[in-house]
């Protein structure tokens, strides 16, 4: 049940956003994609989520040819940088959305959905916020609702695109530890995109450093830190650490 | 690799169905009526259509329409510029209310718009007696037609310029003033060049409505052939007289005017998108 | 007039406030406000009972019902077709799209009398649409259905033009989020996209309704104007004026004016409500 990404190429108007990307991660891994803006992180994540399709290459996950599974059947919980909450729905409706759209046969009964919403609200520490609208929440709270909404469908894979990018430094640090705790508890294979190498190293089991549509180096944070394989990686780590 | 549909894309069959519905609605409600105007005008050939246009009453109607627009449009343009200058460049109490009042004629029935002038200047109106004594005719005469047209087209330029000038802010004018430019110079050299395409856009729409207005003008005109009939009124008179070719011939002139307006409008939206109010940028 | 005397405005370095506002208020009063006041005071010369007699006349009631009811039905039709047209124009690409887009404004640009005789001809028993329908036993011209057709024509651009910019600016993220959460396209459209278009749709439909209630030129030719059947309220005003019944005409006019004010009020409340939800 591991994740195998093989030789993915994706071009936008002939300009390659991904130029032969391959990586393998074991089931339940916490994987960080890190790299400068425009290096192709979001594109790769969207391909994993079924929101974008590569020109060539393959992805295998859960014994499936992952690219042949439509987005809505993948059960890949996606968390967007700008939250993408449904503005006209309350917090509880947002979280329950993935369950209420299921076919009748697969849809849990109302009480069961309500119970799950309560559980998730507790998990993201937003008890009592059921009836709020997204416009009545802070940025950090919105992102926690977005995560709860993604977790509600019992995802096989969790995809996060710079989820803390729009938040201030203090909230970022808090949410970071808390996300790691959730991962430890649930063991869902998680791919986390960030342009902040410190955040990547603090969170992930495996780090892929990306540059110009390619993976420059892939390994554990310790390995990448100890032995940068290319001048780019050395530079990227150093420059960012120097800030 | 097999074809994959993006999750924000509609199913190809839905796309076809929705496109057909949209094209059907536009054809049924917009294209067919337009085509009808021209085919009915030419039903008995170009010659007959031309005769209807060459008729003295028709020419009088064209003349009156042009005169009416030539008075109403400049007046409302000047008003539009003054109103948007006051509203966009200054802060004062009641600004929102004033903006609502300026839009008022848009939400009033054209017939009611004509009615209000009859109630003032008509024979049994407020000033009816004194006007008759002074031998001044407003209702059932050209002044009434012009007044009703001004009322109907009142907001066009102003509502175009107010959001545009609010967008542009006050910096440039304040800079010019601080450099010693007079108010008039500031307006002519700084503001006017910035708003000219928006102004033209508003004038274009104002003119189309001024030449095409029917309901309001119909109430105050009295339908005197050769004297108080504008082109739309002449269309009505001919149509009710069962002179269908003539009616559609004059109507096709007005339809051409509408088409030219639409072409110029699209051109302005496309070529000068940044210089007209944001709501029109597609 | 010196602007310095005004206390109700914030100080500004720019000149011309007194002149521009003065002219604006003067012109507005002479052209719009005073004439409207003349309308509002007029019907009461026959007293409230006289006013009531005019309004409760079955012919007047039927005309008001047709104008308001027809406008409401037309607004509902446009609230269904308008979003489809706007969606196709914003989301799809096909040859001729620019032309289709430009044509939407035709009811704004085409004089209403021209639209009126064209629609009347088109839907009459020997017109392109009316003829095939007449074989099916459906009559449109000279019936209330004809009135609704004309009112739908006049209202369509209000809905489409209100929706288009909103649809253009609508982020795709929530749609993608819905897909990753397992929603099919229909669920995404009905539960995510349409609700976020609702305020604009309501605004557009209200504008279309307001325009249709008072519409005259495009209706009277196709309506046939049978008293109590296909006679609209604005036409009754014209008829009363032709009989020099100024007070009666003014009474109907006041009712229509009140309706206009109600719509403006409703629109303002709607905008406020939208502003709060954002
Ligand atoms: N939909 C698109 N159309 C065209 N170019 C795109 C699109 N999405 C991404 N790109 C381009 O692909 C490259 C990689 O983008 P992205 O994956 O968003 O990078 P990152 O997330 O690392 O900042 C960038 O140069 C970007 O401009
Ligand atoms: Mg990105």
pLDDT in tens, B169-200: 888 888 888 888 888 888 888 889 989 999 99
Q: How far apart are CA A26 and CA A128, in angstroms?
A: 37
Question: With an 8 Å Cβ cutoff, is B82 touching chain C?
Answer: yes
CA atoms within 13 A on the CB side of C4: 1
Q: Which residue of A84, A89, A101 is in closest CB contact with C173?
A: A84
Beta bridge partners of B32: none
The rounded distance, in Å, linking the Cα atoms of C80 and C77 is: 5
**Longest pairwise C-alpha distance within chain A:** 56
- Closest-CA residue in chain A for B4? A53
> What average pLDDT does the segment A102-126 reach?
93
Q: In whole angstroms, what is the distance from residue C139 CA to residue B244 CA?
A: 21
Segment of B42-51, B266-275, C179-188 carrying the highest mean pLDDT: C179-188
Report, in angstroms and rounded to the nearest whole number, the Rg of chain B calculated over CA atoms: 23
ipTM of the complex: 0.92
Q: How far apart are CA A66 and CA B207, in angstroms?
A: 60
Of residues A13 and A130, more confidence is placed in A130
Please, is A110 exposed, middle or buried when counting C-beta atoms within 10 Å of its C-beta (0-12, 13-18, 19+)? exposed
Q: Which two tokens stand for residue C76?
A: 């509902």
Tell me the average pLDDT across A131-156.
Answer: 94
Asked if C74 and C152 touch (Cβ cutoff 8 Å), the reply is: yes
> What three-state secondary structure class fits B281?
coil
Q: How many CB atoms lie within 10 A of CB B193?
A: 11
**Residue nearest ligand 1's atom 21 by CA:** A42
Higher pLDDT, A114 or A172: A114
Cβ-Cβ pairs closer than 8 A, B with C, add up to 304
The CA distances from residue C117 to A106, B43, B67, C234, in Å, are 57, 15, 25, 17
CB environment B35-45: b (16+ within 10 A), e (fewer): ebbbebbbeee
Which chain B residues contact residue C116 at CB under 8 A? 214
What does chain B come to in residues? 282
> In whole angstroms, how large is the CA radius of gyration of chain A?
18
pLDDT for res A204: 93
Are the C-beta atoms of C138 and C62 separated by less than 8 Å? no
Note the pLDDT of residue C2: 46
Query: To which residue do tokens 């509408």 refer?
Result: B258
Residues C28, C37: contact at Cβ < 8 Å?
A: no
C-alpha of B227 from chain center: 23
Instruction: Indicate the average pLDDT of chain B.
Output: 89
Q: Helices A139-152 and A169-186 meet at what angle, rounded to 10?
A: 20
- Which of A42, A78, A162, A209 to mutate to test ligand 1, by most ligand atoms within 8 A of the CB atom? A42
Is A15 at the interface with chain B, CB within 8 A? no
| Cβ separation B119–C42 shorter than 8 A | yes
Backbone phi and psi for residue A218, each to the nearest 5 degrees, phi listed first: -135, 125
Give me the sign of the Cα torsion angle B89, B149, B210, C209. positive
The predicted structure's pLDDT at residue A89? 94
Least confident window among A171-175, B83-87, B244-248: A171-175
For residue B77, pLDDT beyond 60: yes
pLDDT tens, position by position, C203-240 = 999 999 999 999 999 999 999 888 988 899 999 999 99
Question: Which segment of A20-34, A41-55, B209-223, C261-275 scores lowest on mean pLDDT?
Answer: C261-275
Query: What is residue C131's predicted lDDT score, i.e. its pLDDT?
Result: 87
Q: Do β-strands A30-34 and A206-211 pair in parallel, antiparallel, or remain unpaired?
A: parallel
Interface test with A, best of C166, C169, C181 (most A CBs within 10 A): C181
Asked if residues B246 and C265 have their Cβ atoms less than 8 Å apart, the reply is no
Q: Whole-angstrom Cα distance, residue B273 to residue B266?
A: 10
Question: By alpha-carbon position, which residue is closest to atom 17 of ligand 1?
Answer: A40
Is 50 exceeded by the pLDDT of residue A73?
A: yes
**Is a pLDDT exceeding 90 seen at residue B270?**
no
* Residue B282 binned pLDDT confidence (cut-offs 50, 70, 90): very low
Q: Do A100 and A113 contact (CB within 8 A), yes or no?
A: yes
Contact B150, B67 (CB under 8 A): no
Q: What are the angstrom distances between the C-alpha of B21 and each of A171, B10, C57?
A: 49, 15, 42
Distance CA B115, CA C241 (A): 8
Q: In angstroms, how far is the first alpha carbon of chain B from the final one?
A: 36
How many Å apart are CA A39 and CA A147, to the nearest integer? 25
The answer to whether residues C104 and C88 touch, using CB atoms and an 8 Å cutoff, is: no
Atom 25, ligand 1: residue with shortest CA distance: A38
Residue C3 has pLDDT above 50, yes or no: no
Matching CATH number, C48-277, of 3.40.50.720, 3.90.870.10, 1.10.3720.10, 1.10.286.10 = 1.10.3720.10
Residue A178: pLDDT over 90: no
Contact C146, C123 (CB under 8 A): yes
In this structure, what DSSP letter does residue B166 have?
H
Hey, what domains does chain A have and what are their CATH numbers? 3-75+155-242 (3.40.50.300), 87-154 (no CATH)
Backbone angles phi, psi at B223, to 5 degrees: 55, 45
pLDDT > 50? residue C1: no
In ligand 1, the atom with minimum distance to the C-alpha of A18 is: 14
Overall average pLDDT of the C9-18 stretch: 77
- How many whole angstroms separate alpha carbon B163 and alpha carbon C24? 16
- Residues in Cβ contact with A207 at an 8 Å cutoff, skipping those fewer than 6 apart: A31, A32, A34, A197, A200, A201, A218, A219, A220, A221, A224
Give alpha helix (H) positions in chain B: 12-26, 32-41, 46-54, 56-89, 95-103, 110-121, 128-133, 142-153, 156-168, 171-178, 183-186, 192-212, 215-221, 231-240, 244-271
How many CB atoms sit inside 10 A of residue C49's CB?
8
How far apart are the C-alpha atoms of A191 and A115, rounded to whole Å? 28
By three-state DSSP, how is residue A2 classified? coil
Confidence label for C278 from pLDDT (cuts 50, 70 and 90): low
Q: Which residue of A lies nearest to B8 if distances are taken between CA atoms?
A: A51
Asked if residues C146 and C140 have their Cβ atoms less than 8 Å apart, the reply is yes
Residue A162: phi and psi, rounded to 5, are 40, 60
pLDDT at C4: 47
Q: Please name which of A159, A96, A166 lies closest in space to residue A137, comparing C-alpha atoms.
A: A166
pLDDT digits (tens, 9 = 90+) for B107-157: 899 999 999 999 888 877 788 888 888 888 888 888 999 999 999 999 999
Helix and strand element counts for chain A (H, E): 9, 10
3-state DSSP assignment of residue A10? strand
Q: Where are the domains of chain C?
A: 48-277
In which band, very low, low, confident or very high, does the pLDDT at B95 lie, cut at 50, 70 and 90?
confident
Mean pLDDT computed over every residue of chain A: 92
Tokens of A161: 């695109």
- Who wins on pLDDT, A201 or C4? A201
Each residue's pLDDT tens digit, C125-153: 888 998 899 889 888 888 899 999 999 99
Which residue CA neighbors atom 20 of ligand 1 most closely? A38
Residues of A in contact with C181 (CB under 8 A): 72, 77, 97-98, 101, 149-150, 152-153
pLDDT at B272: 83
Question: For B211, how many CA atoms within 13 A lie in the half-sphere containing its CB?
Answer: 20
pLDDT above 70 covers a percentage of chain A that reads: 98
**Which residue in B280, B31, B273 sits closest to B156, CA to CA?**
B280
Residue written as token pair 């780590």: A237
- How sure is the predictor about B279, in pLDDT bands with cuts at 50, 70 and 90? low
- The H-or-E segment that residue A31 falls in is strand A30-34
**What's the rounded mean pLDDT across residues B24-40?**
93
What span, in angstroms and rounded, lies between the C-alpha atoms of C274 and C201?
12
Say whether residue B56 is in contact with chain A using an 8 A CB cutoff.
no
CA dihedral (C215, C219, C221, C226) positive or negative: negative
Write the burial class of residue B179 (CB in 10 Å: 0-12 exposed, 13-18 middle, 19+ buried): exposed
């Amino acid at each position: 049940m591991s994740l195998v990404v093989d030789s993915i190429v994706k071009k936008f108007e002939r300009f390659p956003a991904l130029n032969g990307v391959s990586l393998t991660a074991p089931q339940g891994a916490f994987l960080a994609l890190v790299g400068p803006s425009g290096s192709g992180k979001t594109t790769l994540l969207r391909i994993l989520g079924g929101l974008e399709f590569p020109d060539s290459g393959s992805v295998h996950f859960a014994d499936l040819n992952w690219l042949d599974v439509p987005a809505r059947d993948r059960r890949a919980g996606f968390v967007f940088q700008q939250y993408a909450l449904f503005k006209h729905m309350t917090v509880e409706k947002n979280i329950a959305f993935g369950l209420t759209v299921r076919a009748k046969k697969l849809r849990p009964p109302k009480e069961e959905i309500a119970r799950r919403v309560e559980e998730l609200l507790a998990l993201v520490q937003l008890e009592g916020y059921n009836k709020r609208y997204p416009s009545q929440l802070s940025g950090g709270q919105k992102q926690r609702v977005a995560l709860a909404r993604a977790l509600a469908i019992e995802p096989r894979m969790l995809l996060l695109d710079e989820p803390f990018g729009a938040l201030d430094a203090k909230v970022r640090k808090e949410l970071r530890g808390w996300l790691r705790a959730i991962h430890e508890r649930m063991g869902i294979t998680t791919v986390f995109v960030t342009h902040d190498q410190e955040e990547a190293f603090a969170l992930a089991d495996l780090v892929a450093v990306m540059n110009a549509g390619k993976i420059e180096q892939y390994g554990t944070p310790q390995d990448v830190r100890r032995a940068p394989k290319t001048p780019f990686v050395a530079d990227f780590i150093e420059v960012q650490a120097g800030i | 690799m097999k074809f994959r549909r993006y999750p924000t894309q509609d199913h190809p069959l839905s796309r076809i169905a929705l496109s057909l519905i949209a094209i059907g609605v536009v054809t049924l409600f917009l294209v067919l009526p337009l085509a009808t105007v021209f085919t009915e005008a030419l039903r008995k050939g170009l010659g007959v259509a031309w005769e209807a246009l060459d008729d003295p009453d028709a020419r009088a109607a064209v003349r009156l329409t042009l005169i009416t627009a030539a008075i109403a449009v400049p007046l409302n343009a000047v008003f539009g510029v003054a109103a948007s200058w006051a509203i966009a460049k200054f802060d004062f109490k009641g600004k929102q209310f004033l903006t609502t009042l300026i839009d008022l004629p848009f939400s009033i029935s054209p017939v009611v718009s004509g009615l209000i002038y009859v109630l003032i200047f008509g024979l049994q109106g407020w000033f009816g007696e004194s006007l008759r004594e002074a031998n001044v005719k407003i209702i059932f005469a050209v002044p009434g037609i012009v007044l009703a047209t001004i009322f109907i087209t009142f907001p066009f330029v102003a509502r175009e310029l107010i959001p545009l000038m609010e967008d542009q802010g006050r910096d440039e004018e304040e800079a010019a003033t601080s450099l010693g430019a007079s108010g008039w110079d500031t307006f002519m050299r700084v503001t006017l060049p910035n708003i000219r395409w928006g102004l033209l856009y508003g004038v274009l729409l104002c003119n189309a409505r001024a030449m095409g207005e029917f309901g309001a003008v119909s109430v105050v005109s009295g339908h005197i052939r050769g004297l108080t009939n504008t082109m739309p009124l002449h269309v009505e008179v001919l149509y009710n007289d069962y002179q269908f070719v003539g009616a559609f011939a004059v109507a096709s002139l007005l339809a051409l005017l509408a088409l030219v307006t639409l072409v110029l409008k699209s051109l302005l939206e496309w070529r000068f998108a940044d210089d007209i109010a944001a709501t029109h940028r597609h | 007039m010196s602007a310095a005397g005004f206390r109700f405005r914030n100080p500004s370095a720019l000149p011309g406030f007194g002149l521009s506002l003065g002219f604006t208020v003067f012109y507005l009063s002479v052209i719009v406000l005073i004439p409207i006041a003349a309308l509002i005071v007029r019907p009461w010369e026959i007293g409230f009972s006289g006013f009531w007699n005019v309004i409760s006349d079955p012919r007047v009631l039927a005309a008001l019902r047709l104008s308001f009811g027809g406008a409401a039905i037309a607004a509902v039709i446009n609230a269904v077709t308008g979003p489809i047209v706007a969606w196709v124009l914003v989301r799809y690409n096909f040859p001729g799209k620019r032309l289709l887009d430009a044509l939407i404004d035709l009811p704004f640009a085409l004089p209403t009398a021209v639209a009126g005789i064209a629609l009347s001809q088109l839907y009459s028993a020997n017109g392109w649409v009316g003829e095939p329908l007449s074989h099916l036993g459906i009559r449109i011209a000279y019936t209330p259905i004809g009135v609704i057709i004309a009112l739908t024509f006049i209202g369509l651009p209000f809905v489409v033009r209100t929706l288009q910019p909103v649809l253009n600016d609508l982020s795709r993220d929530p749609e993608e989020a819905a897909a990753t959460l397992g929603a099919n396209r229909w669920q995404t459209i009905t539960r995510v996209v349409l609700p976020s278009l609702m305020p604009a749709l309501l605004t557009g439909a209200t504008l279309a309704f307001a325009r249709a209630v008072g519409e005259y030129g495009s209706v009277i030719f196709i309506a046939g104007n049978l008293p109590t059947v296909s006679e609209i309220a604005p036409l009754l005003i014209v008829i009363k004026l032709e009989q020099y019944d100024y007070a009666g005409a003014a009474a109907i006019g006041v009712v229509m004016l009140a309706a206009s004010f109600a719509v403006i009020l409703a629109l303002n409340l709607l905008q406020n409500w939208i502003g709060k939800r954002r």
